[in-house]
Amino acid sequence: MLETVAEQKAFGGTQGVYRHSANSTACTMEFSVFTPPGEGPFAVLWYLSGLTCTQENATTKAGFQRMAAELGIMVICPDTSPRGAGVADDDGYDLGQGAGFYVNATEAPWAAHYRMDDYVSHEMPELIAKHFPADIARQSITGHSMGGHGALTMAFRNPVRYRSVSAFAPIVAPTQCPWGEKAFGAYLGSDRSAWRAYDACELVRDRGAQFDDILIDQGLADNFLEDQLKPGLFEKACAAAGQSLTLRRHAGYDHSYYLMATFMGDHLRFHAARLNG
Q: Which residues are catalytic?
A: 145, 222, 255
Name residue 6's beta-bridge partners. Answer: 17
Non-local CB neighbours of 98 within 8 Å, separated by 6+ positions = 51, 52, 53, 54, 80, 81, 83
